Structure 1
Amino acid sequence: MKKVYIVGTCDTKFAELDYARSATRQAGAEAVLVDVGTQSAHPGADIAAREVAANHPSGAAAVLSQADRGKAISAMAEALTIFLQECNDIGAVLGLGGTGNTALVTRAMRDLPVGVPKLMVSTVASGNVAPYVGPNDIAMMYSVVDIAGLNAISRKVIGNAAHAAAGMALNPPPLSADDRPGVGMTMFGVTTACVTQLRDMLGDAYELFVFHATGVGGQSMEKLVDSGLLQAVIDVTTTEVPDLLVGGVFPATEDRFGAIIRTRIPYVGSVGAVDMVNFGAKETVPAAFRDRRLHVHNAQVTLMRTTPEENRRIGAFIVERLNRMEGPVRFLLPLQGISAIDAPGQPFHDPAADEALFSTIRAGWKAAPNRQLIELDAHINSPEFAAALAANFHAITA
């Protein structure tokens, strides 16, 4: 039977953690109490804080000898991440705590694969939880009262969380009977025509997962790659890169493309919608950009055309990461336009800006047997380009 790992700081929250352990066992699941306290040891834990801290790359002393609490929490988070990665009997992870322990435990949860149950009971779970959750399947449960002693409310909340974690550990969903390879695809409104054609061309041979390229969309796709749940990627729309580099509202992280580099899965990509940086309603566009070429996509989204200089930065970012991919790679450049509004007669048509992007990728490209850079005299939403994407996908996945 896989176990519920209950994680918290026993030096300050032992009574609450012990209550969660008892409730989990009463629900029929095995429970392991993991102490991540950095101030003093507690004999009641199943896994002592020093045992967790020993997983830090610099040893337990790097965690437990820290005088600064913030540094100690960060170091313990790194140690816990490694500790949980090496456990092969996790049925669920249940964390309890305030701001410090929430940051600590969710840091480790974020590195676990999608599908491993993760539940965090937290004093900050009713606010903005994006920094704690990211593109992961972490369930955040508001503690209502502070986790500072047991009372009628905290017993109810903690007990419910323990029963939920036990239920997830005891009742894992059956594996899908669908054995088709999972393929991730990125899409934006201005590349929808390309992706729609591509989906039709790939037919029913693959299980297709389309991700809206809104920052967290790309992160979610790459999290599934890291979790082994996608076997290939067709990354049509890399628009999150401009938002990262220029300052838009849908940014990638610095780890964009990192999952492809790490896993070496087949990758077909392009430069869809990198002609734009995304902002909210027009009045929210930063003052520094209000004289730029803007296009109101809808009442809540305003697009800004990228300049040649910005496109050189974008191209350099992309090609540097493509050169680090050791799996099969095909990267396609649509020379007649990279979005629905980057075509003759459209508001973002700018051949000079596009050429700055293309020439930077050409110049930075490092030829290798596993990688090919392919240029087509076609628009990204044309049937010719969609067909080329499909053909190259089949070529590296056959």
Structure 2
Amino acid sequence: MKKAVRFLAAAMVVMMLAMALAGCGGSSGNEIVIGGVGPLTGTAATYGQSVRNAAQIAVDEINEAGGVNGVKLKLIFEDDEADGAKTKSAYETLMDKGMQILVGAVTSGSSIAINDLVAKDGILQITPSASAIEANVNPNTFRVCFTDPLQGKAMAEYTYGLGYTKAAVIHNQDDDYSTGMYQAFVERFKELGGTISEDVSFAKDASDFNAQVTKIKASDADFLFMPIYAEKAAQIVITLNEKEVNLPLFGGDGLDGILNYLTGDNAKLVEGLVYLTPFVSTDAADNVKSFTEKYTQKYGSAPDQFAADAYDAVYLVKLALEKAGVASAAELDNAKLVEAMHSVELDGLTGHMTFDADGEPQKDAKVAKIVNGQYVAQ
């Protein structure tokens, strides 16, 4: 009798331990859990929403096609409001929910904020859109987008090549993305023989740009470079119009989606604006047309480059899982998955992509221009 009691007690302990372990990190069942973190609310919400929406489309497509080696993917996404402290909290929440792979963070400052956590946990991180150099410092981190210095240098060469020699520049002094692109642009533009006619900045919480625009108006600049995100750029463009400043406008990939912030006649204020991007929704390529139709039908608006970057990021995850031979969620090995990423090749929405030893994407940039209220590849 005592032996039977001891046997039953031992069996109950085993069952309880199994249940407890099932509630810890890792996937539930045979699903590989992809976590995403980015701003779903706040001034940068449009970027996080684009990333989440497109990542979900990619996950759904992969699952509908049978998953990865028969294993389904699951996406869970947390809002960080583009705030570093909240990104850390969101990351920990994702880990508690069983995250095995991270697609994020969306913004540079947020991605930098979790560098130590990602290094400690060793999971594969693919940031779709964090472009600051400091956002990719871990051996297990890869990025889909271009770096800030690359964009700044490229736009300096592009504008100078068009014959512009006197630049006005406005940047966000509190933003890693903005300062990185700004510094690279100024350095390269001067190397080419150009001059910086006016150099102004603003704090991250700024909402009044009259002082900066007044200085730009008083300069002899022949164009304005805005290495900033679209929400602030839209406010600046409106102020430029109010003060009757009419300069050609240029920027980086953060200006993608600026039309979302300009309604009615204000949309005409960015006619002719030129920016760097890896993706234009009006591209005639079959994969771009298919994705754009699906995204627009599901979410009611055309996708931007943040969406395209996220879509490609999920398909990079798929390729890495296949190369690493992952046949079940329990078999996922972080080191093997990271190693596999170095040999993947993707013909994605943002172009043909491979990665160098530092996890940086090797692909070509595109130039887009707003023409008749549409983003058009040049």
Range class of TM-score, shorter chain: under 0.3
Superposition TM-score, scaled by structure 2 size: 0.27
Task: Give 1 or 2 for the bigger CA radius of gyration.
Answer: 1
Q: Which has the higher contact order (CA 8 A, sep 6+)?
A: 2
Judging by fraction of residues, say which structure has more helix: 2
When normalised by structure 1's length, the TM-score is 0.26
